[in-house]
């Protein structure tokens, strides 16, 4: 059943996450269809980062199931029991997703180009010359033509984040996860990163994006979910969620703060 | 300084570019460091005085120094001291790396073994450890792999395996690995957790993450203290007398000194060689630091006074 068009790219079923005693995700259900852009908004501490990190197994979920392209993540389920996958299987599953972090997390001892070729060469075994060629094309695509030989500390925040996006794209993930990709940037650098993300969205990349840029969310999102206290409390078309915070009135209170 | 175009006659406000404009670089006169000159002069005077006091001093027996500084016995001592230093560090560095990785492992047994090894080598004193390794062949005459309470599979006479030279290297290396473990652990701990996460998100294996992402970054903070440890190791080789191992530089020079009843010139021979080797090591350290400092401008920056 893998790879069929009607299988969702991401499916979360009743996912819970505990950090020792703290109940950070309290039963999340979420489906992202292939090619869709799902944007998560919500107050700080509501569990948005945790949700993304569970999808690519940077966190181990405490209950529930996560499927990517129909494949259960992290476990093999036999007769209702979960068998933990080996680290190499988990690493393999992670290749299906790409993650862009709030603070870029570029490798500081590598140039921009080396950052981008690292994954393809070391993980996928792509020959160096081929990886390099593709990386140069990707750097060009994110508007960084000619900056491949710079080290991260010789780049602006916006440029670093675009290198990070190119590094993720180089692995050809099926789903891209963005955790507040513009929150660490000076205001005048936000636009250049959002433009790259918008391009990606329009190219048909499946992605989940956590952001506080409400205007941008409205523009790119196919689905918008509003999180609070470890739950998705509203979800649907962006205009519906943003304009009619009927139930709970929570998005309304949050949005008036964000938009103020 | 060199590009002397005609002064710009542009009248537009700064920041507004109107056609190609010429930039006249500031004509910079470097500051005069009068203080530096005075310091240099004073130090030069002191150095000349000191050199005169040493060279003209009959108590130093410079003729004896010259006679022995390149004598075969001393050169052999230099060779063995270098060999012990390099071999002990070559044992200690990978061992410490393994201990750090084991300490970070999720396997509780590996963790306990690492901790136990660390405790034993860090809390007992080096002289005792060297004596122990010297006695190893007496304490355990035969080293063998056998089925517990059953027949021996393979075995070897300890005296063939743990020679004095091996005992010296193992003693120095094990002891050193405990200190290096602390240094390495601090180096790895200083790396942001986001580095590991970014590498994991790319699907890298734990081994690749250690080798390609964490180790090169840790090197930057690890190298200076490890270089110090190497220089310390150079001096610590003089303790191998405890094994007893008697071919190192310190033993060689003091043997000659005892024969001649002239300790001072032979001490100067040893000191000169230690100084020379230390200087060579520091050159190596400089290049290593420059290599692993890439991506951190503090070291590679070119302009500006420092
Ligand atoms: N490693 C952790 N250990 C303990 N608590 C954590 C950890 N990570 C996150 N939390 C807690 O879980 C909650 C959700 O965090 P997070 O997913 O980062 O929220 P958001 O991204 O929406 O701001 C917060 O209350 C946070 O303090
Ligand atoms: Mg967050």
B202 interfacial to chain A (CB closer than 8 Å):
yes
- pLDDT bracket for residue B302 (50, 70, 90): very low
The C-alpha atoms of residue A58 and residue A48 are separated, in whole angstroms, by 13
Q: Residue A142 domain-assigned?
A: yes
Residue labelled with tokens 């999808």? A55
- Regarding predicted confidence, which is higher, A256 or B147? B147
Three-state DSSP state, B254: helix
Q: With contact defined as beta carbons under 8 Å apart, do A66 and A29 qualify?
A: no
- A241 part of a folded domain: no
Q: To the nearest whole percent, how much of chain B has pLDDT over 90? A: 43
CB B237 within 8 A of CB B172: yes
- pLDDT tens for B234-277 read 989 999 988 888 889 999 999 999 999 988 999 999 999 999 99
B74-80 contacts at long range (C-beta below 8 A, 24 or more positions apart): B74/B249, B74/B252, B74/B253, B74/B256, B74/B269, B74/B273, B76/B247, B76/B252, B77/B247, B77/B248, B77/B249, B77/B250, B77/B251, B77/B252, B77/B253, B78/B249, B78/B273, B78/B277, B80/B247, B80/B248, B80/B249
Q: Domain locations in chain B?
A: 63-146+154-301
Query: Is residue A259 in some structural domain?
Result: no
Per-residue pLDDT, averaged over B129-148, amounts to 84
Per DSSP, the residues of B144-193 read EEE-TTS-EEEEEEHHHHS-HHHHHHHHHHHHHHHHHHHHHHHHHHTS-H
Those residues with Cβ within 8 angstroms of residue A167's Cβ, 6 or more apart along the chain or in another chain: A106, A115, A116, A118, A119, B202
Q: What is the pLDDT of residue B10?
A: 45
A36 burial via Cβ count (<10 Å: 0-12, 13-18, 19+):
buried
User: Of A4-8, A42-46, B173-177, B201-205, which gets the smallest average pLDDT?
Assistant: A4-8
Domain that includes residue A145, residue range: 102-172
pLDDT at residue B66, as a whole number = 87
For residues B158 and B143, give the distance between their C-alpha atoms in angstroms, rounded to a whole number. Answer: 6
Supply the pLDDT for residue B155: 79
User: How far apart, in whole angstroms, are the C-alpha atoms of residue B10 and residue A92?
Assistant: 62
The kind and range of the H/E element at B104 are: helix B72-104
Which backbone phi and psi does A81 adopt, to 5 degrees? -110, 145
| Per-residue confidence (pLDDT) for residue A257, from 0 to 100 | 63
Of A58, A92, A122, the CB nearest to B201: A58
- pLDDT computed for residue B27 by the predictor: 85
**Nearest-angstrom CA–CA distance, B172 and B164:** 12
pLDDT for B125: 86
- CA A155 to CA A104: how far, in whole Å? 12
Per-residue confidence band for B136, with pLDDT thresholds at 50, 70 and 90: confident
Nearest CA to ligand 1 atom 25: A45
Condensed to tens digits (0 to 9), the pLDDT of residues B31-81 reads 888 888 999 999 999 999 998 888 888 888 888 888 988 999 999 999 999
ipTM for this model: 0.92
- Spatial separation of the C-alpha atoms in residues A258 and A42, rounded to whole Å: 10
In this structure, the strands spanning A175-179 and A206-210 are: parallel
Secondary structure E strands in chain B: 142-146, 152-157
Number of domains in chain A: 1
Query: Looking at the complex, does the CB of residue A226 fall below 8 Å from at least one CB of chain B?
Result: no
Contact predicate A28/A232, CB 8 Å: yes
**What region, left, alpha or beta, does residue A175 occupy, with left being phi > 0 and alpha being psi -120 to 50 degrees?**
beta
Q: Rounded mean pLDDT of B227-233? A: 92
In a domain, A154, yes or no: yes
Instruction: Using CA coordinates, name the residue in chain B closest to A154.
Output: B295
Contacts of B61 (CB under 8 A, 6+ apart): B262, B264, B265
Facing B201 at nearest CB: one of A99, A108, A152:
A99
> Is B266:B66 a contact under the CB 8 Å cutoff?
no
Tell me the nearest-neighbour CA distance from B29 into chain A, angstroms. 29
For the cut 50, the answer to whether the pLDDT of residue B2 exceeds it is: no
Compute the average pLDDT of residues B196-201: 96
Asked if A87 lies within 8 A of B198 by C-beta distance, the reply is: no
- Give the mean pLDDT of chain B: 85
Percent of chain B at pLDDT exceeding 70: 90
The verdict on a CB contact (< 8 Å) between B203 and A171 is: yes
Number of helices (H), then strands (E), belonging to chain A: the values are 9, 12
A191 by DSSP, 3-state: which?
helix
Q: Tell me, yes or no, whether A212 lies in a domain.
A: no
Q: Which of A20, A26, A45 to mutate to test the pocket of ligand 1 (most atoms within 8 A of CB)?
A: A45
In CATH terms, is domain B63-146+154-301 a member of 1.10.3720.10? yes
User: What's the pLDDT band for B111 if we cut at 50, 70, 90?
Assistant: confident
- Residue A48 covered by a domain: no
Binding-site residues, ligand 1, Cβ < 6 A: A 19, 22, 24, 42, 44-50
pTM of the model: 0.82
Spans of chain A below 70 pLDDT = 1-5, 244-260
- Give the dihedral of Cα atoms A139, A175, B203, A19; nearest 10 deg: 120
What are the tens digits of pLDDT across the range B283-300? Answer: 988 888 888 888 776 544
d(CA A97, CA B184): 32
- A153 vs B198, B213, B295: nearest CB: B295
């Amino acid at each position: 059943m893998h790879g069929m068009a009607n299988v969702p790219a991401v499916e979360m079923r009743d996912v819970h996450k505990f950090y020792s005693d703290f109940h950070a995700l309290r039963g999340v259900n979420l489906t992202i269809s292939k090619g869709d852009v799902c944007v998560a908004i919500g107050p700080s501490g509501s569990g948005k980062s945790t949700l993304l990190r569970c999808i690519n197994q940077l966190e181990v979920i405490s209950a529930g199931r996560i499927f990517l392209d129909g494949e259960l993540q992290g476990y093999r389920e036999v007769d209702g029991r979960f068998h933990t996958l080996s680290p190499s299987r988990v690493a393999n599953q992670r290749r299906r997703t790409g993650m862009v972090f709030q603070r870029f997390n570029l490798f500081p001892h590598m140039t921009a180009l080396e950052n981008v070729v690292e994954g393809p060469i070391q993980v996928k075994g792509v020959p160096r010359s081929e990886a390099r060629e593709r990386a140069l094309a990707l750097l060009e695509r994110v508007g960084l033509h000619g900056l491949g030989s710079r080290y991260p500390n010789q780049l602006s925040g916006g440029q670093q984040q675009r290198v990070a996006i190119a590094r993720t794209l180089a692995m050809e993930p099926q789903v891209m996860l963005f955790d507040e990709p513009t929150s660490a940037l000076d205001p005048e650098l936000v636009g250049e990163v959002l433009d790259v993300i918008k391009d990606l969205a329009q190219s048909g990349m499946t992605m989940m994006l956590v952001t506080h840029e409400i205007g941008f969310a409205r523009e790119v999102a196919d689905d918008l979910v509003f999180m609070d206290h470890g739950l998705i409390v509203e979800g649907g078309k962006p205009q519906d969620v943003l304009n009619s915070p009927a139930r709970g009135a929570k998005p309304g209170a949050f949005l008036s703060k964000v938009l103020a | 300084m060199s590009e002397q175009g005609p002064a710009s006659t542009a009248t537009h406000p700064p920041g507004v570019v109107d056609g190609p404009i010429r930039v006249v670089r500031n004509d910079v006169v470097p500051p005069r460091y009068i203080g530096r000159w005075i310091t240099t002069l004073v130090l030069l005077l002191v150095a000349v005085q000191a050199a005169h006091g040493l060279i003209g001093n009959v108590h130093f027996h410079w003729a004896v120094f010259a006679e022995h500084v390149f004598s075969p016995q001393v050169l052999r001592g230099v060779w063995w001291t270098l060999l012990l230093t390099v071999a002990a560090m070559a044992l200690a560095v990978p061992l410490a790396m393994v201990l750090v990785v084991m300490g970070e492992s999720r396997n509780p047994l590996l963790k306990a073994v690492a901790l136990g090894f660390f405790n034993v080598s860090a809390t007992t004193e080096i002289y005792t450890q060297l004596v122990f390794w010297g006695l190893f062949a007496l304490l355990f005459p035969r080293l063998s792999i056998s089925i517990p309470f059953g027949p021996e599979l393979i075995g070897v006479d300890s005296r063939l395996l743990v020679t004095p030279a091996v005992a010296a290297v193992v003693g120095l290396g094990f002891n050193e690995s405990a200190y290096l473990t602390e240094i390495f652990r601090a180096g790895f701990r200083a790396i942001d957790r986001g580095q590991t996460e970014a590498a994991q998100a790319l699907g890298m294996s734990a081994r690749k993450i250690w080798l390609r992402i964490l180790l090169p970054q840790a090197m930057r903070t690890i190298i200076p203290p490890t270089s110090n440890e190497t220089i310390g190791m150079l001096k610590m080789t003089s303790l191998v007398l405890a094994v007893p191992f008697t071919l190192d530089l310190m033993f060689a020079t003091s043997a000659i000194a005892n024969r001649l009843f002239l300790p001072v010139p032979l001490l100067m021979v040893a000191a000169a060689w230690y100084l020379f080797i230390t200087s060579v090591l520091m050159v190596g350290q400089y290049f290593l630091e420059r290599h692993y400092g890439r991506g951190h401008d503090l070291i590679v920056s070119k302009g500006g006074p420092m």
